[in-house]
Amino acid sequence: MPPKTSRIAGMLVSRKALTGWTGALLLVATVACSSAVDDSPATSDAASAQTAGDSPTAQSDSPRADSAGTAPDTGQPIAASPDEIADDVIGDAPENTPANLDQPGLGQTLTADEIAAAFESVIGRVFTDSLDSVVEITVSTVAGGASGSGFVWDDQNRIVTNQHVIADAERVEVTFSDGRSYAATVLGEDPDADVAVLQAETDDRLKPIALGDSDTALPGQIAIAIGNPFGEEFTLTQGIVSAVGRSIRSGNQGFTTPDVIQTDAAINPGNSGGPLLNRHGEVIGINAQIRSDSRQNSGVGFAVPINIAKMVVPDLIEHGEFVYSWLGVSGHDVSRVLAKALDLPDGTRGAYISQVIPDGPAEDAGLNEMSRTIRFEGELVDVGGDTVVGVDGTPIRSMADLISYLTNNTRPGDIVMLEIIEYGGDRTEKRVELGVRP
């Protein structure tokens, strides 16, 4: 290890009692300085399914609400309208953190100014490296216009953004930070995942942004958003990954997107479609929604995971759409009270089926929905439905798990084996041939 890296590593040990943001800054400073030396960035619903209204379900074609479970985060799309244009959690230490952090006597040599400067250098480098790949998107529609953000996806001048940014567009224009501006055409849209692909109409060679792996995102990691809030072009905001594994609905779509990243990096109208980056400058998400009563940042923003985009974008380019598999159920998580009311084994977790959609794959496979409502331990509980606890050997502990598995691992026509615990506690398996999401 280079001397300076060892000195910084020792500093971590001597100040290991630091917590919260001070500890996070110290970790960032260590990584930043060592890199410089070496020269080297809402909850339950259902299976690939549709939710109705404000019910805590997903994959439902029915407007009926369930009586248990929690609803997916219902955020607001954050494309800017014309009038708008004018206890800390620290994630796991990065893998390249110096290994000999337990060496004594090397600390007390890194100043607060050095820590702050190292942190600033990380943020600044991410912004500089990514800026040439980020665009402002201006859209004209019959109803007026809007603006949002996007980023260059590949070396074929394709640009990715949110579907709600370009919905019903008659004309689309993309503008880079150096003033270059090009017309763009829409190649494909996926309203369920809120992802769209544009083709910039130019012979210029655009610079693709670096793509990361959203599965590696952890609470406490640095999160950096670049976009055009309120028409303020190419604005950088920074925070942390606040949570992972959220589920959100896209606009008026009844289906949910799983594995969503939550961040407290400031996201406002106009940020939609822009990248959420890690400290390596890699895109881990596409900024899509905020949870707010005022349509302004409240510290709760949501980004579509980049791994979902990696899955759907090739089909959007080739076919203009992405076709999802469909199980045909609505449901929610199994609570403690529900498990007791269903007479399930102690500690059972899973996805409870409250509704089976008529003529859907689940009905054909013989899955059971709730049959009656009872009062149990002072609560009204729907009973009679099946509880999914596994798919193809993969444990299912929540409705979000079921959505995520079906979205990421299956396509229409696939056959899956569901491990079921029926009302009363009997365990069985049911074979389902998945359909096409309606």
* SS3 label, residue 208: coil
Which residues contact residue 213 at a Cβ distance below 8 angstroms, ignoring those fewer than 6 apart? 282, 284, 306, 307
Q: Which long-range contacts (C-beta less than 8 Å, at least 24 apart) are formed by 236-239?
A: 236/123, 236/127, 237/265, 237/266, 237/267, 238/123, 238/265, 239/263, 239/264, 239/265, 239/266, 239/299
Nearest-angstrom CA–CA distance, 86 and 223: 26
DSSP string, 220-239: TSEEEEEE-GGG-TTEEEEE
Neighbours of 433 (CB within 10 A): 13
39 in active site:
no
319 in active site:
no
Structure tokens at 103: 């060496």
Structure tokens at 219: 């609470």
Q: Annotated catalytic residue: which of 164, 330, 382, 398?
A: 164
Nearest-angstrom CA–CA distance, 80 and 176: 17
194 in active site:
yes
Q: Annotated catalytic residue: which of 34, 55, 133, 272?
A: 272
Q: Annotated catalytic residue: which of 73, 190, 194, 259?
A: 194
Give the catalytic positions in this structure.
164, 194, 272
